[in-house]
Amino acid sequence: MSPRRLHPELLDTLPTDHPDARHSRRDLRVINRFMGNHRWFARTLPPLLRPGESILELGAGTGELTQRLAARGLTVTGLDLCPPPADRPETHGWLQDNLTTFTGYADYPVIIGNLILHHFSDGTLGQLGRQWRRHARLLVFSEPVRRRFSQHLIRGLGPLFGANRVTLHDASVSIAAGFRGDEMIRQLDLPDSEWNCSVTRTLGGACRLVAQRRP
């Protein structure tokens, strides 16, 4: 498939209470279940954490992943441009800020993100990666695999689970901006001398990175 191509996503242009936006967020929950993203984070993170470590979820959105991890006893704070969801427990941390200009990364040794990195250009990813390298010990991300099969799959299956026009457009755009091979490692500028990185691809269309700082 061709190199990464970034295009605007329709959901980003809609008010949060717009009917199409609400429907698309419902669709995203279905897509995340199909991809198994939240289950993967809940299974992968606990064995990798050290006692007392705080986790920062980038682009926390509706807060569902953060809440799922917090329910397992993990200390998780969501970071997003949007305010916290109305039903979010007050005990769960939330920061309303832009992740590209956020200045508090030093407080979080563990940084995670679900379907967020594909929104950014290679240059921005490099800047973020170099910033995270200063303090983080563990980086865990799940992103779309960039492959035509995934685009055909969402076009075929989307209407079957009621996906609206916003979801069908944004899913295809997200896949075109997704990752293959070791691209996330290279674009986040994680040198092998400092980081032990593992990338896996799934049949459900996920490209997943686990990066641990070497001792």
Q: Which domains, and CATH codes, for the chain?
A: 10-213 (3.40.50.150)
Question: How many secondary structure helices (H) and strands (E) does the chain include?
Answer: 7, 7
The answer to whether the pTM exceeds 0.85 is yes
Mean pLDDT of the chain: 94
Is residue 25's pLDDT more than 70? yes
Please give the average per-residue pLDDT across 30-51, as a whole number: 96
Read off the DSSP letter of residue 182: T
Q: Give the separation between CA 92 and CA 77, rounded to whole angstroms.
A: 7
Write out the two tokens for 188. 């986040």
Query: pLDDT tens digits, residue range 70-82?
Result: 999 999 999 999 8
Span 82-100, pLDDT tens digits: 888 877 666 578 999 999 9
Q: What percent of the chain stands above pLDDT 70?
A: 97
Per-residue pLDDT tens over the stretch 160-210: 999 999 999 999 999 999 999 999 999 999 999 999 999 999 999 999 999
Contact between 49 and 72 under an 8 Å Cβ cutoff? The reply is no
CB atoms inside a 10 Å sphere around CB 84: 19
Model pLDDT, residue 43:
97
24-33: b (≥16 Cβ within 10 Å) or e:
bbebbeebbe
Diameter of the chain measured on Cα atoms: 49
What are the backbone angles phi and psi of residue 36, rounded to the nearest 5°? 75, 25
Whether the per-residue pLDDT at 61 is higher than 70: the answer is: yes
- Alpha-carbon distance of 8 to 41, in angstroms, equals 27
Nearest to 138 by CA among 73, 41, 207: 41
Give yes or no for residue 2 having a pLDDT over 90.
Answer: no
